[in-house]
Amino acid sequence: MSIYIAIDIGGTQMRAAAFPLNGYEPVAVQRVPTHNPDISPQEGLVQLIESVCPPDETLISIGVAAPGPLNPKTGVIYTAPNIAAFRNFPIVEYLQEKFNVPVFLENDANLAAVGEWQAGAGQGHTHLIYLTISTGIGSGIISDGHLLQGEGGIAAELGHVTVIPEGPICGCGQPGHLEAIASGKNIARWTKEKLAKGAESSLQNAKKVTAKKIAKAAYKGDDLARKAFERAGGYIGLTLANFLHIFNPSIVIFGGGVSRSGDLLLDPIKRSVQKHVMSPKYIDDLTITTATLGDDAGMIGALILARTATEK
C-alpha cells in the first residue's frame, strides 16, 4: 500500500499519522512528547515517523505542520515556541535525507485552515478565514481558493494586529495586539487583574485561574467571568469586522480551546461584528461557525499539503 505521512509538531507533543491515497481516515497514528530526556526532538521526530510507517508500505511524501514563524519555500523553521532545538532548523532537508521522499512544510494554523476548508467546516467555500483562539491566536486564510502565504511564507498572522495602540504588550513584543487582549492566556490575565483588585467572583478562591475555569464559572452565572468573555468577544468581533473589510470571506471558522467555550465567546463576537461592519453586505451571506476537525485540523491540512504538493 502507498501512504502519505502527516506530522503535527507542538510544544508539548508531536503527532504523526499515515494515510492512504484517498480519504481522511488514518491507517496508523502515534504521538510522543516533544521533550524527551533521552533523545533530541529531531531524533524523536524520526522515530515517530518510523513508528507509523511499516517497512512493507511505500511512503510517497511527508507533510509537516509546525508552529511558526517558518519558511515553507526553504523548508526552515525559524523559531518554534517552546522547542529551542528547532531554532533555524532545516526540517525539510533533514527529513528528506532520512526518508528519501519529498517533504513539505507549512505553518500549523495555515494547515488547520486548509484542513477545515477541504475536510471540515469550510467545505465548498472559496473565501475563508480560520481563527484559532487558544493560548495564542493563530489564523489561516483561503482567498479565492488559494492559501495566503505571502512573499516569505509568514502572512496571515491575524492575531498580531493592533487593537488598542497603547494596550498590553503581546508575546511578540508589540503593544495592543489582538492576541494580547483576547487569547485564552490574556482572558485569564485580565480576569486575574480584576480579581486582584477585589472584584466579586466565584473565582476569588480558585487556585489557578485559566480560561477554561473562567468559562466554567461563566456558565454557572459568574458575572466577572461572563464579562471576561464579553470583553474578549467584543474585541475579536471588532477586529473580525476589519478582516471582513479586508478579505470579504463567505465563512469564518473558529478553532482552538477558547472557541470550544461555545456561545460564551461566539455570541459577543457576532454582536460585535454586526455592530462594526461598515455595510451589511459583509455579513448578509456570511457564516460564522466553529471548527469541526478539532485537534486534527493541522494534521489533516498537512496530509492535504503532502498530497497536493506531490501531485504538482
Which residues of this protein are in contact with its own copies, per CB under 8 A? 69, 78, 126-127, 143-144, 146, 148-158, 160-165, 170, 172-174, 177, 238-239, 241-242, 245-250, 276, 278-279, 281-282, 285
Least distance between its own copies and beta carbon 283 (Å): 11
Which residues, 6+ apart, have CB-to-CB distance to 127 below 8 Å? 142, 143, 144, 247, 248, 249, 250, 251
| Residue listed under C-alpha cell 487583574 | 193
Query: What CA–CA distance (Å, rounded) separates 224 from 267?
Result: 17
Q: How far is the CB of 158 from its own copies (least distance, A)?
A: 6
State in angstroms the smallest separation of the CB of 20 from its own copies: 30
Strand arrangement of the beta sheet that strand 287-290 belongs to: 146-147, 137-143, 128-133, 251-255, 287-290
Grid coordinates 480551546 are at which residue? 257
Quick check: 127 and 111 in contact, CB under 8 A? no
CB of 83 to its own copies, least distance (A): 18
Nearer to its own copies, 60 or 288 (CB): 288
Nearer to its own copies, 1 or 246 (CB): 246
First to last CA, the chain: 21
Nearer to its own copies (CB atom), residue 35 or residue 127: 127
Closer of 181 and 299 to its own copies (Cβ): 181
Least separation, in Å, of the C-beta of 251 and its own copies? 9
- Measured from the CB atom, the residue of 96 and 242 that comes closer to its own copies is 242
